[in-house]
Amino acid sequence: MKTIKIKDLDEKVSTFTSKSGLKVYIWPYDLSEEINMSLTVRYGSVDTDFKVGKKTYHLPNGIAHFLEHIKFNEKPNVTAHDFFYSIGSYTNAYTTYDHTSYEVTCSDNIDTNLTHLLYFVLNPYFTKELVQKEKGIIVEECKMSLDNPYNVGYQNLLQNLYKYNKKRNLVTGLEKDVKNITIDDVEAVFDNFYHPENMFLVVTGKINPFEIEKIVETFFADKEYSKYVKPKMITKKEPDDIVKESDSINTNITKEKLFLAYKVPKKNYKGWDTLNLRILHNIVLNINFGTTSEFHNYLLQNDLIDDFYYSLSIEKDHVVIIFEASTSYPQEVLKEVDKQMQHLNISEQEFMRKKRAIIATSILGYDDSYEVNSDIRMDLIRYNKIITDLKGVINSFTLEEAKEIVSKITNYKESYIILKPIENKSEEA
Protein backbone atom coordinates (compact mmCIF):
# COMPACT_ATOMS: atom_id res chain seq x y z
CA MET A 1 0.00 0.00 0.00
CA LYS A 2 1.23 3.47 -0.90
CA THR A 3 0.56 6.80 0.78
CA ILE A 4 -0.38 9.97 -1.09
CA LYS A 5 0.35 13.03 1.05
CA ILE A 6 -1.85 16.11 0.66
CA LYS A 7 0.62 18.94 1.16
CA ASP A 8 0.02 21.65 3.78
CA LEU A 9 -3.06 19.83 5.14
CA ASP A 10 -1.41 16.96 7.03
CA GLU A 11 -3.83 14.60 5.27
CA LYS A 12 -3.00 11.25 3.70
CA VAL A 13 -4.75 9.08 1.14
CA SER A 14 -3.76 5.41 1.11
CA THR A 15 -3.88 3.61 -2.22
CA PHE A 16 -3.30 0.17 -3.69
CA THR A 17 -4.21 -1.81 -6.78
CA SER A 18 -5.97 -5.12 -6.18
CA LYS A 19 -5.11 -8.35 -8.00
CA SER A 20 -8.11 -7.67 -10.25
CA GLY A 21 -6.66 -4.35 -11.41
CA LEU A 22 -9.10 -2.24 -9.38
CA LYS A 23 -7.45 0.90 -7.99
CA VAL A 24 -8.50 1.76 -4.44
CA TYR A 25 -8.16 5.10 -2.61
CA ILE A 26 -8.78 5.42 1.15
CA TRP A 27 -8.99 8.54 3.30
CA PRO A 28 -9.32 7.83 7.06
CA TYR A 29 -11.20 10.48 9.06
CA ASP A 30 -11.95 9.53 12.66
CA LEU A 31 -14.25 12.52 13.27
CA SER A 32 -16.73 11.36 10.63
CA GLU A 33 -20.10 10.00 11.72
CA GLU A 34 -20.40 8.01 8.50
CA ILE A 35 -18.41 6.01 5.99
CA ASN A 36 -18.70 6.84 2.29
CA MET A 37 -17.92 4.29 -0.42
CA SER A 38 -18.05 4.92 -4.15
CA LEU A 39 -17.29 2.55 -7.01
CA THR A 40 -16.83 4.51 -10.23
CA VAL A 41 -16.82 3.23 -13.81
CA ARG A 42 -15.03 5.27 -16.46
CA TYR A 43 -18.07 5.13 -18.73
CA GLY A 44 -20.61 7.87 -19.26
CA SER A 45 -23.47 9.01 -21.45
CA VAL A 46 -21.28 10.29 -24.30
CA ASP A 47 -19.58 6.91 -24.81
CA THR A 48 -22.04 5.33 -27.24
CA ASP A 49 -19.73 4.67 -30.19
CA PHE A 50 -16.59 2.57 -29.80
CA LYS A 51 -14.52 -0.19 -31.31
CA VAL A 52 -13.07 -3.30 -29.67
CA GLY A 53 -10.75 -5.25 -31.93
CA LYS A 54 -12.49 -5.50 -35.28
CA LYS A 55 -15.99 -5.02 -33.85
CA THR A 56 -17.64 -1.59 -33.92
CA TYR A 57 -20.50 -0.63 -31.60
CA HIS A 58 -23.08 2.14 -32.10
CA LEU A 59 -25.32 2.03 -29.02
CA PRO A 60 -28.46 4.06 -28.24
CA ASN A 61 -28.18 7.32 -26.32
CA GLY A 62 -28.99 6.76 -22.65
CA ILE A 63 -27.40 3.30 -22.46
CA ALA A 64 -24.98 4.28 -19.63
CA HIS A 65 -27.85 5.57 -17.50
CA PHE A 66 -29.99 2.53 -18.37
CA LEU A 67 -27.26 0.15 -17.22
CA GLU A 68 -26.83 2.13 -14.00
CA HIS A 69 -30.53 1.57 -13.24
CA ILE A 70 -30.66 -2.10 -14.18
CA LYS A 71 -27.47 -2.83 -12.24
CA PHE A 72 -29.32 -2.59 -8.92
CA ASN A 73 -31.21 -5.78 -9.76
CA GLU A 74 -29.41 -8.77 -8.23
CA LYS A 75 -31.80 -11.63 -8.96
CA PRO A 76 -35.56 -12.01 -9.52
CA ASN A 77 -37.43 -9.53 -7.30
CA VAL A 78 -34.32 -8.66 -5.26
CA THR A 79 -32.46 -5.37 -5.52
CA ALA A 80 -29.37 -3.85 -3.95
CA HIS A 81 -31.64 -1.20 -2.47
CA ASP A 82 -33.45 -3.97 -0.55
CA PHE A 83 -30.18 -5.34 0.81
CA PHE A 84 -28.67 -2.06 1.99
CA TYR A 85 -31.97 -0.89 3.46
CA SER A 86 -32.21 -4.12 5.47
CA ILE A 87 -28.87 -3.43 7.21
CA GLY A 88 -29.51 0.28 7.81
CA SER A 89 -27.33 1.61 4.99
CA TYR A 90 -28.05 3.86 2.03
CA THR A 91 -27.16 3.31 -1.63
CA ASN A 92 -27.55 5.42 -4.73
CA ALA A 93 -25.92 5.99 -8.12
CA TYR A 94 -25.63 8.60 -10.83
CA THR A 95 -24.55 8.77 -14.45
CA THR A 96 -22.94 11.81 -15.98
CA TYR A 97 -21.27 12.55 -19.30
CA ASP A 98 -17.98 10.78 -18.52
CA HIS A 99 -18.56 8.35 -15.66
CA THR A 100 -21.04 6.31 -13.65
CA SER A 101 -20.69 6.11 -9.87
CA TYR A 102 -22.32 3.76 -7.34
CA GLU A 103 -22.42 4.97 -3.73
CA VAL A 104 -22.99 3.45 -0.31
CA THR A 105 -23.22 5.37 2.97
CA CYS A 106 -23.06 3.47 6.27
CA SER A 107 -21.92 3.78 9.87
CA ASP A 108 -20.92 0.19 10.58
CA ASN A 109 -20.77 -3.29 8.99
CA ILE A 110 -17.93 -2.11 6.75
CA ASP A 111 -17.11 -5.59 5.47
CA THR A 112 -20.73 -6.40 4.58
CA ASN A 113 -21.37 -3.03 2.92
CA LEU A 114 -18.18 -2.92 0.85
CA THR A 115 -18.39 -6.56 -0.21
CA HIS A 116 -21.96 -6.09 -1.38
CA LEU A 117 -21.15 -2.87 -3.25
CA LEU A 118 -18.49 -4.73 -5.23
CA TYR A 119 -20.81 -7.70 -5.71
CA PHE A 120 -23.87 -5.96 -7.10
CA VAL A 121 -21.95 -3.67 -9.47
CA LEU A 122 -19.76 -6.46 -10.86
CA ASN A 123 -22.49 -9.13 -10.93
CA PRO A 124 -23.83 -9.47 -14.53
CA TYR A 125 -27.49 -10.23 -13.86
CA PHE A 126 -29.49 -9.27 -16.97
CA THR A 127 -32.63 -10.75 -18.52
CA LYS A 128 -34.83 -9.67 -21.43
CA GLU A 129 -37.76 -9.34 -19.05
CA LEU A 130 -35.75 -7.10 -16.74
CA VAL A 131 -34.63 -4.88 -19.64
CA GLN A 132 -38.21 -4.54 -20.84
CA LYS A 133 -39.50 -3.73 -17.35
CA GLU A 134 -36.81 -1.10 -16.78
CA LYS A 135 -37.68 0.65 -20.04
CA GLY A 136 -41.05 1.73 -18.69
CA ILE A 137 -39.50 3.16 -15.54
CA ILE A 138 -36.80 5.11 -17.39
CA VAL A 139 -39.20 6.38 -20.08
CA GLU A 140 -41.19 8.00 -17.27
CA GLU A 141 -37.98 9.53 -15.92
CA CYS A 142 -37.22 10.93 -19.39
CA LYS A 143 -40.70 12.44 -19.59
CA MET A 144 -40.32 14.01 -16.14
CA SER A 145 -37.00 15.53 -17.19
CA LEU A 146 -38.58 17.06 -20.30
CA ASP A 147 -41.51 18.32 -18.23
CA ASN A 148 -39.00 20.54 -16.39
CA PRO A 149 -38.74 23.75 -18.47
CA TYR A 150 -35.28 24.54 -17.12
CA ASN A 151 -33.95 21.15 -18.26
CA VAL A 152 -35.49 21.80 -21.67
CA GLY A 153 -33.86 25.24 -21.86
CA TYR A 154 -30.43 23.94 -20.89
CA GLN A 155 -30.61 20.97 -23.25
CA ASN A 156 -31.72 23.19 -26.15
CA LEU A 157 -28.75 25.44 -25.42
CA LEU A 158 -26.35 22.48 -25.70
CA GLN A 159 -27.99 21.33 -28.93
CA ASN A 160 -27.52 24.79 -30.41
CA LEU A 161 -23.96 25.01 -29.11
CA TYR A 162 -22.58 21.61 -30.15
CA LYS A 163 -22.68 19.91 -33.52
CA TYR A 164 -20.99 16.60 -32.65
CA ASN A 165 -20.15 16.74 -28.92
CA LYS A 166 -22.51 14.21 -27.37
CA LYS A 167 -23.24 16.44 -24.44
CA ARG A 168 -25.94 17.72 -26.77
CA ASN A 169 -27.89 14.53 -25.91
CA LEU A 170 -29.78 13.93 -22.67
CA VAL A 171 -27.91 11.69 -20.22
CA THR A 172 -31.09 9.58 -19.99
CA GLY A 173 -31.62 9.57 -23.74
CA LEU A 174 -35.01 10.32 -25.25
CA GLU A 175 -38.02 8.01 -25.05
CA LYS A 176 -37.24 6.57 -28.51
CA ASP A 177 -33.63 5.89 -27.44
CA VAL A 178 -34.69 4.00 -24.34
CA LYS A 179 -37.24 1.93 -26.24
CA ASN A 180 -34.51 0.87 -28.70
CA ILE A 181 -32.19 -0.50 -25.99
CA THR A 182 -31.75 -4.28 -26.08
CA ILE A 183 -30.19 -6.79 -23.71
CA ASP A 184 -27.32 -7.06 -26.21
CA ASP A 185 -26.62 -3.33 -25.77
CA VAL A 186 -26.61 -3.70 -21.98
CA GLU A 187 -24.25 -6.67 -22.11
CA ALA A 188 -21.97 -4.88 -24.60
CA VAL A 189 -21.42 -2.00 -22.18
CA PHE A 190 -20.99 -4.27 -19.16
CA ASP A 191 -18.58 -6.62 -20.92
CA ASN A 192 -16.45 -3.84 -22.40
CA PHE A 193 -16.38 -1.26 -19.60
CA TYR A 194 -17.40 -2.83 -16.27
CA HIS A 195 -13.97 -4.32 -15.71
CA PRO A 196 -12.05 -3.62 -12.46
CA GLU A 197 -9.20 -2.05 -14.46
CA ASN A 198 -11.67 0.51 -15.83
CA MET A 199 -13.01 1.33 -12.36
CA PHE A 200 -11.81 2.77 -9.09
CA LEU A 201 -13.02 2.55 -5.50
CA VAL A 202 -12.91 5.44 -3.02
CA VAL A 203 -13.59 4.87 0.70
CA THR A 204 -13.61 7.79 3.15
CA GLY A 205 -14.51 8.17 6.81
CA LYS A 206 -13.84 6.28 10.00
CA ILE A 207 -11.99 3.31 8.50
CA ASN A 208 -8.68 1.45 8.68
CA PRO A 209 -6.95 1.34 5.24
CA PHE A 210 -5.58 -2.15 5.90
CA GLU A 211 -9.06 -3.43 6.73
CA ILE A 212 -10.32 -2.05 3.39
CA GLU A 213 -7.45 -3.71 1.57
CA LYS A 214 -8.23 -7.05 3.21
CA ILE A 215 -11.95 -6.81 2.31
CA VAL A 216 -11.21 -5.96 -1.32
CA GLU A 217 -8.58 -8.66 -1.79
CA THR A 218 -10.82 -11.25 -0.11
CA PHE A 219 -13.65 -10.37 -2.50
CA PHE A 220 -11.45 -10.82 -5.58
CA ALA A 221 -9.53 -13.84 -4.25
CA ASP A 222 -11.66 -16.44 -6.10
CA LYS A 223 -12.37 -14.31 -9.19
CA GLU A 224 -10.42 -14.22 -12.42
CA TYR A 225 -10.42 -11.34 -14.88
CA SER A 226 -8.72 -11.32 -18.26
CA LYS A 227 -6.48 -8.38 -19.12
CA TYR A 228 -8.61 -5.35 -19.87
CA VAL A 229 -8.82 -4.39 -23.54
CA LYS A 230 -9.62 -0.70 -23.56
CA PRO A 231 -12.21 0.17 -26.22
CA LYS A 232 -11.27 2.80 -28.80
CA MET A 233 -13.82 5.59 -28.63
CA ILE A 234 -15.23 6.84 -31.92
CA THR A 235 -15.67 10.62 -31.91
CA LYS A 236 -15.85 13.52 -34.34
CA LYS A 237 -13.89 16.71 -33.87
CA GLU A 238 -16.18 19.44 -32.61
CA PRO A 239 -16.06 22.53 -34.88
CA ASP A 240 -15.51 26.03 -33.51
CA ASP A 241 -18.79 27.18 -35.00
CA ILE A 242 -22.20 26.68 -33.38
CA VAL A 243 -25.38 25.13 -34.72
CA LYS A 244 -27.75 28.02 -33.98
CA GLU A 245 -27.33 31.46 -32.42
CA SER A 246 -30.58 31.74 -30.50
CA ASP A 247 -33.98 30.33 -29.67
CA SER A 248 -37.03 31.48 -27.77
CA ILE A 249 -39.21 28.89 -26.05
CA ASN A 250 -42.65 29.51 -24.55
CA THR A 251 -43.12 27.22 -21.57
CA ASN A 252 -44.70 26.83 -18.16
CA ILE A 253 -42.68 29.29 -16.06
CA THR A 254 -43.56 32.47 -14.18
CA LYS A 255 -40.51 34.56 -15.10
CA GLU A 256 -38.22 34.58 -18.12
CA LYS A 257 -34.99 32.60 -17.99
CA LEU A 258 -31.82 33.23 -19.96
CA PHE A 259 -29.31 30.51 -20.86
CA LEU A 260 -26.19 31.92 -22.52
CA ALA A 261 -23.08 30.04 -23.68
CA TYR A 262 -19.66 31.03 -25.00
CA LYS A 263 -17.66 28.48 -26.96
CA VAL A 264 -13.95 29.35 -26.91
CA PRO A 265 -11.53 27.35 -29.12
CA LYS A 266 -9.09 25.43 -26.95
CA LYS A 267 -6.35 26.01 -29.53
CA ASN A 268 -6.23 29.55 -28.09
CA TYR A 269 -4.61 28.08 -24.97
CA LYS A 270 -1.56 26.27 -26.28
CA GLY A 271 0.75 25.15 -23.46
CA TRP A 272 -1.91 25.22 -20.72
CA ASP A 273 -3.01 22.00 -19.03
CA THR A 274 -6.56 21.23 -17.90
CA LEU A 275 -5.97 21.89 -14.18
CA ASN A 276 -4.42 25.31 -14.73
CA LEU A 277 -7.08 26.26 -17.27
CA ARG A 278 -9.88 25.30 -14.89
CA ILE A 279 -8.49 27.18 -11.88
CA LEU A 280 -7.47 30.34 -13.73
CA HIS A 281 -10.75 30.55 -15.63
CA ASN A 282 -12.70 30.15 -12.42
CA ILE A 283 -10.68 32.95 -10.80
CA VAL A 284 -11.27 35.26 -13.77
CA LEU A 285 -14.98 34.41 -13.97
CA ASN A 286 -15.48 34.79 -10.22
CA ILE A 287 -13.88 38.22 -10.21
CA ASN A 288 -15.99 39.39 -13.14
CA PHE A 289 -19.30 37.56 -12.56
CA GLY A 290 -19.28 36.09 -9.03
CA THR A 291 -21.76 37.04 -6.31
CA THR A 292 -19.36 39.67 -4.86
CA SER A 293 -18.43 41.18 -8.24
CA GLU A 294 -19.30 44.72 -9.29
CA PHE A 295 -21.10 43.26 -12.29
CA HIS A 296 -23.35 41.05 -10.17
CA ASN A 297 -24.13 43.94 -7.83
CA TYR A 298 -24.96 46.14 -10.84
CA LEU A 299 -27.50 43.61 -12.10
CA LEU A 300 -29.10 43.33 -8.66
CA GLN A 301 -29.19 47.06 -7.97
CA ASN A 302 -30.91 47.68 -11.29
CA ASP A 303 -33.42 44.86 -10.69
CA LEU A 304 -32.23 43.08 -13.82
CA ILE A 305 -31.99 39.63 -12.19
CA ASP A 306 -33.46 37.46 -9.47
CA ASP A 307 -30.50 35.08 -9.68
CA PHE A 308 -27.41 34.71 -11.82
CA TYR A 309 -24.96 31.81 -12.15
CA TYR A 310 -22.07 30.73 -14.32
CA SER A 311 -20.41 27.38 -14.96
CA LEU A 312 -17.26 26.28 -16.74
CA SER A 313 -16.50 23.17 -18.79
CA ILE A 314 -13.09 22.26 -20.19
CA GLU A 315 -13.76 20.14 -23.28
CA LYS A 316 -11.40 18.32 -25.62
CA ASP A 317 -11.63 21.08 -28.25
CA HIS A 318 -13.18 24.02 -26.38
CA VAL A 319 -13.57 25.95 -23.17
CA VAL A 320 -17.29 26.49 -22.62
CA ILE A 321 -18.71 29.16 -20.29
CA ILE A 322 -22.43 29.06 -19.52
CA PHE A 323 -24.52 31.72 -17.75
CA GLU A 324 -28.04 31.31 -16.36
CA ALA A 325 -30.26 34.13 -15.14
CA SER A 326 -33.85 34.45 -13.96
CA THR A 327 -34.86 37.85 -15.24
CA SER A 328 -37.67 39.99 -16.58
CA TYR A 329 -35.16 41.60 -18.94
CA PRO A 330 -33.29 38.79 -20.72
CA GLN A 331 -32.14 40.93 -23.65
CA GLU A 332 -30.73 43.56 -21.29
CA VAL A 333 -28.88 40.94 -19.25
CA LEU A 334 -27.59 39.40 -22.48
CA LYS A 335 -26.19 42.76 -23.60
CA GLU A 336 -24.55 43.38 -20.22
CA VAL A 337 -22.89 39.94 -20.12
CA ASP A 338 -21.67 40.42 -23.70
CA LYS A 339 -20.20 43.78 -22.75
CA GLN A 340 -18.48 42.34 -19.67
CA MET A 341 -17.09 39.37 -21.64
CA GLN A 342 -15.49 41.81 -24.07
CA HIS A 343 -13.93 43.82 -21.24
CA LEU A 344 -12.88 41.25 -18.64
CA ASN A 345 -10.74 42.88 -15.99
CA ILE A 346 -8.67 41.67 -13.08
CA SER A 347 -6.77 43.61 -10.44
CA GLU A 348 -3.94 42.32 -8.26
CA GLN A 349 -5.98 42.83 -5.07
CA GLU A 350 -8.95 40.83 -6.41
CA PHE A 351 -6.65 38.17 -7.82
CA MET A 352 -4.91 37.58 -4.48
CA ARG A 353 -8.21 37.54 -2.60
CA LYS A 354 -9.74 34.92 -4.91
CA LYS A 355 -6.66 32.71 -4.64
CA ARG A 356 -6.93 32.79 -0.83
CA ALA A 357 -10.66 32.01 -1.02
CA ILE A 358 -10.11 28.90 -3.20
CA ILE A 359 -7.39 27.64 -0.85
CA ALA A 360 -9.62 28.19 2.19
CA THR A 361 -12.50 26.31 0.53
CA SER A 362 -10.26 23.35 -0.30
CA ILE A 363 -9.08 23.16 3.32
CA LEU A 364 -12.62 23.30 4.73
CA GLY A 365 -13.63 20.45 2.41
CA TYR A 366 -11.55 18.06 4.51
CA ASP A 367 -14.12 18.32 7.29
CA ASP A 368 -16.65 16.31 5.26
CA SER A 369 -16.20 12.64 4.39
CA TYR A 370 -18.58 12.68 1.42
CA GLU A 371 -17.10 15.87 -0.03
CA VAL A 372 -13.58 14.41 0.11
CA ASN A 373 -14.87 11.23 -1.53
CA SER A 374 -16.43 13.31 -4.30
CA ASP A 375 -13.32 15.49 -4.72
CA ILE A 376 -11.08 12.43 -5.09
CA ARG A 377 -13.46 11.05 -7.71
CA MET A 378 -13.42 14.30 -9.69
CA ASP A 379 -9.62 14.49 -9.58
CA LEU A 380 -9.32 10.94 -10.88
CA ILE A 381 -11.85 11.51 -13.66
CA ARG A 382 -10.47 14.88 -14.75
CA TYR A 383 -6.74 14.38 -14.24
CA ASN A 384 -6.30 10.63 -13.64
CA LYS A 385 -4.55 11.44 -10.35
CA ILE A 386 -5.20 13.09 -6.99
CA ILE A 387 -4.07 16.71 -6.90
CA THR A 388 -1.74 16.71 -3.88
CA ASP A 389 -0.60 20.34 -3.84
CA LEU A 390 -3.59 22.45 -4.81
CA LYS A 391 -2.42 25.26 -2.53
CA GLY A 392 1.00 25.28 -4.21
CA VAL A 393 -0.57 25.24 -7.69
CA ILE A 394 -2.84 28.17 -6.86
CA ASN A 395 -0.11 30.18 -5.12
CA SER A 396 2.17 29.70 -8.12
CA PHE A 397 -0.19 31.57 -10.44
CA THR A 398 0.78 35.13 -11.23
CA LEU A 399 -1.36 38.11 -12.15
CA GLU A 400 0.33 38.11 -15.56
CA GLU A 401 -0.84 34.52 -16.16
CA ALA A 402 -4.39 35.45 -15.19
CA LYS A 403 -4.29 38.36 -17.60
CA GLU A 404 -2.95 36.03 -20.28
CA ILE A 405 -6.01 33.80 -19.77
CA VAL A 406 -8.21 36.89 -20.15
CA SER A 407 -6.50 37.67 -23.45
CA LYS A 408 -7.21 34.12 -24.68
CA ILE A 409 -10.98 34.36 -24.15
CA THR A 410 -11.44 35.63 -27.69
CA ASN A 411 -12.79 34.49 -31.03
CA TYR A 412 -15.63 32.72 -29.23
CA LYS A 413 -19.01 31.80 -30.63
CA GLU A 414 -22.12 32.62 -28.67
CA SER A 415 -25.52 30.97 -28.37
CA TYR A 416 -28.48 31.68 -26.11
CA ILE A 417 -31.96 30.44 -25.20
CA ILE A 418 -34.71 32.56 -23.68
CA LEU A 419 -37.53 30.79 -21.87
CA LYS A 420 -40.75 32.81 -21.80
CA PRO A 421 -43.95 32.28 -19.79
CA ILE A 422 -46.93 31.09 -21.80
CA GLU A 423 -49.32 33.98 -22.14
CA ASN A 424 -52.75 33.37 -20.60
CA LYS A 425 -55.29 34.88 -22.93
CA SER A 426 -58.46 35.78 -21.11
CA GLU A 427 -61.61 34.26 -22.48
CA GLU A 428 -63.94 36.59 -24.34
CA ALA A 429 -67.07 37.53 -22.48
CATH code of residue 399: 3.30.830.10
332 three-state secondary structure:
helix
For the four alpha carbons of 80, 82, 88 and 94, in that order, the dihedral sign comes to: positive
In 107-252, where does DSSP find H-type helix? Answer: 110-122, 128-147, 149-161, 175-180, 183-193, 209-220
Residue finishing a domain among 186, 203, 233: 233
243 three-state secondary structure:
coil
Say whether both 190 and 90 belong to one domain: yes
Asked if 305 and 325 touch (Cβ cutoff 8 Å), the reply is yes
- Alpha-carbon distance of 203 to 188, in angstroms, equals 28
Say whether both 254 and 218 belong to one domain: no
What pLDDT, on the 0 to 100 scale, is given for residue 264? 97
Residue finishing a domain among 178, 200, 233: 233
Strand duo 23-28 + 199-205: pairing: parallel
**Does residue 162 have a pLDDT over 80?**
yes
In a domain, 241, yes or no: no
In a domain, 374, yes or no: yes
Side-by-side strand order, sheet with 100-106: 2-6, 11-17, 23-28, 199-205, 35-41, 100-106, 90-95
Say whether both 200 and 269 belong to one domain: no
Q: Mind listing the pLDDT tens digit for each residue in 262-296?
A: 999 999 998 899 999 999 999 999 999 999 999 99
Count Cα atoms within 13 angstroms, Cβ side, for 298.
11
In a domain, 277, yes or no: yes
DSSP 8-state class, residue 91:
E
Say whether both 46 and 190 belong to one domain: yes
Give the model's confidence band at 410: pLDDT under 50 very low, under 70 low, under 90 confident, else very high.
Answer: confident
**Does residue 145 have a pLDDT over 90?**
no
Give the model's confidence band at 220: pLDDT under 50 very low, under 70 low, under 90 confident, else very high.
Answer: very high
pTM for the whole thing? 0.93
SS3 content of the chain, % helix, strand, coil (to 5): 45, 25, 30
H or E stretch at 288? helix 274-289
In a domain, 77, yes or no: yes
Say whether both 353 and 254 belong to one domain: yes
What pLDDT, on the 0 to 100 scale, is given for residue 424? 60
In a domain, 239, yes or no: no
Say whether both 196 and 313 belong to one domain: no
What pLDDT, on the 0 to 100 scale, is given for residue 89? 97
- Domain limits for position 413: 246-421
Say whether both 188 and 84 belong to one domain: yes
Q: Mind listing the pLDDT tens digit for each residue in 332-353?
A: 999 999 999 999 999 999 999 9
Give the model's confidence band at 197: pLDDT under 50 very low, under 70 low, under 90 confident, else very high.
Answer: very high
What would the mean pLDDT of 170-189 be, rounded to a whole number? 96
Buried b (16+ CB within 10 A) or exposed e, 320-337: bbbbbbbbebbeebbebb
Asked if 346 and 402 touch (Cβ cutoff 8 Å), the reply is yes
Which of 156, 384, 140, 409 is CA-nearest to residue 268?
A: 409
Work out how many domains the chain is built from and give that number. Answer: 2
In a domain, 401, yes or no: yes
Average pLDDT, the chain: 94
Which of 90, 12, 86, 259 is CA-nearest to residue 160?
A: 259
In a domain, 147, yes or no: yes
Q: Mind listing the pLDDT tens digit for each residue in 32-41?
A: 889 999 999 9
Q: How many CB atoms lie within 10 A of CB 63?
A: 25
For the four alpha carbons of 111, 112, 115 and 117, in that order, the dihedral sign comes to: negative
Lowest mean pLDDT among 158-162, 332-336, 352-356: 352-356
Say whether both 340 and 412 belong to one domain: yes
Say whether both 42 and 126 belong to one domain: yes
Residue finishing a domain among 233, 266, 293: 233
**Does residue 426 have a pLDDT over 50?**
no
Say whether both 204 and 97 belong to one domain: yes
Q: Mind listing the pLDDT tens digit for each residue in 60-74?
A: 999 999 999 999 999
What pLDDT, on the 0 to 100 scale, is given for residue 10? 83
In a domain, 427, yes or no: no
Say whether both 159 and 278 belong to one domain: no
Express as a percent the part of the chain with pLDDT over 70.
Answer: 99
Say whether both 227 and 251 belong to one domain: no
- Alpha-carbon distance of 88 to 73, in angstroms, equals 19
Q: How many CB atoms lie within 10 A of CB 247?
A: 16
- Alpha-carbon distance of 203 to 206, in angstroms, equals 9
